[in-house]
């Protein structure tokens, strides 16, 4: 393997992971598993360059005086493009408007079935012809004002008739589409950034320092995080996992739950990918 000069930790700022070596088909990655006052425990693992699943978040802000974010349709088109080109499994509609799935084998033959049924067949399969270019695509969106209309009573509803066209674009593209509810996002902000308990006060301080007017360094992003803040966040998620699962609505497939998604990811993770390739 070819070595790299990547840095995982610098001045107490942690990157989510770093590549420490590369080969033709895999990367060797390192992340911090846990720490004590004197020792850092590292997690070193080999990762195939071809993924079996991908998650993508689409969040759009709303400017003052506007009903929804001006870039919402652009975000939807970006997400739809990624979902369509990432995986060999594609969504098509038949003449009755029902969602079908289609996937091609290397010899040009194909399977065509109702989409959810075909997706399940592939995930449960050991057929390398079906799995070799399959990637389970999962989209995550937030901000109700951008993606969902209000009903006649002014309430936000997850009725399909009230989905903005941009949300329908994403639902028709990703294999799975999840919605982070306003209630869930508000709970996170309230408990960790506005009014944290004594254990989590450091999270608020780190966040404010990172987004202050005269900040010197950002230590609260999806790529890099203060190592103490990272440990506090991981503990919060672990301690509140059942509540956090309730923060998400499944837009599509509408007949499934987060438990089903977790099961599908576990099935994909446990396949012998070296043998399949």
| Distance from C-alpha of 258 to C-alpha of 250, rounded to nearest angstrom | 7
- Burial zone of 106 (CB within 10 Å; 0-12 exposed, 13-18 middle, 19+ buried): exposed
| Tokens at 95, concatenated | 């003449």
**Same domain membership, residue 35 and residue 150:** no
Containing structural domain, residue 26: 2-48
pLDDT of residue 35: 75
| Distance from C-alpha of 63 to C-alpha of 180, rounded to nearest angstrom | 20
| Tokens at 86, concatenated | 């990432």
**Same domain membership, residue 120 and residue 67:** yes
Q: Residue 268 phi/psi, 5° resolution?
A: -65, -40
**Same domain membership, residue 257 and residue 146:** yes
CA dihedral of 192, 193, 197, 202, whole degrees rounded to 10: 100
**Same domain membership, residue 254 and residue 166:** yes
**DSSP 8-state code for residue 192:** I
**Same domain membership, residue 262 and residue 128:** yes
Structurally, the chain folds into a number of domains equal to 3
**Same domain membership, residue 193 and residue 114:** no
pLDDT of residue 223: 81
Cα R_g (the chain), whole angstroms: 21
**Same domain membership, residue 264 and residue 128:** yes
Instruction: Map tokens 């509803």 to a residue.
Output: 157
**Same domain membership, residue 237 and residue 265:** no
What's the distance, Cα to Cα, between the start and end of the chain in Å?
A: 20
**Same domain membership, residue 263 and residue 138:** yes
**Same domain membership, residue 270 and residue 198:** no
- SS3 letters for 24-71? CCEEEEEEEEEECCCCEEEEEEEEECCCCEEEEEEECCCCCCCCCCCC
Question: pTM (2 decimals)?
Answer: 0.82
**Same domain membership, residue 234 and residue 118:** no
Could you list the mean pLDDT of each consecutive 10-residue stretch along the chain, which spans 277 residues? 67 81 88 79 87 83 55 73 88 91 93 96 94 93 63 56 69 90 89 95 92 80 87 93 92 92 95 81
**Same domain membership, residue 262 and residue 238:** no
């Amino acid at each position: 393997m070819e070595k790299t000069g990547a840095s995982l930790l610098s001045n107490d700022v942690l990157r989510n992971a770093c590549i420490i070596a590369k080969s033709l088909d895999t990367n060797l990655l390192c992340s911090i598993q846990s720490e004590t006052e004197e020792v850092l425990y590292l997690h070193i693992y080999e990762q195939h360059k071809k993924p079996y699943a991908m998650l993508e978040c689409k969040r759009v802000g709303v400017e003052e005086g506007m009903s929804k974010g001006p870039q919402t349709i652009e975000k939807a088109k970006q997400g739809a493009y990624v979902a369509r080109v990432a995986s060999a499994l594609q969504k098509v509609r038949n003449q009755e408007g029902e969602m079908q799935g289609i996937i091609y084998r290397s010899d040009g033959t194909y399977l065509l079935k109702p989409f959810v049924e075909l997706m399940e067949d592939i995930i449960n399969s050991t057929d390398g012809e079906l799995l070799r270019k399959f990637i389970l695509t999962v989209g995550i969106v937030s901000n109700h004002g951008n993606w969902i209309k209000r009903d006649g009573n002014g309430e936000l509803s997850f009725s399909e008739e009230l989905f903005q066209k941009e949300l329908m674009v994403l639902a028709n593209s990703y294999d799975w589409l999840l919605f982070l509810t306003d209630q869930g996002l508000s709970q996170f902000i309230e408990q960790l950034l506005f009014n944290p308990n004594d254990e989590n006060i450091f999270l608020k301080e780190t966040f404010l320092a990172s987004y202050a007017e005269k900040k010197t360094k950002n230590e609260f992003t999806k790529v890099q995080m203060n190592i103490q803040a990272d440990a506090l966040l991981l503990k919060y998620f672990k301690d509140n996992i059942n509540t956090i699962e309730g923060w998400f609505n499944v837009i599509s497939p509408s007949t499934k739950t987060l438990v089903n998604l977790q099961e599908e990811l576990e099935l994909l993770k446990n396949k012998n990918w070296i043998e399949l390739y």
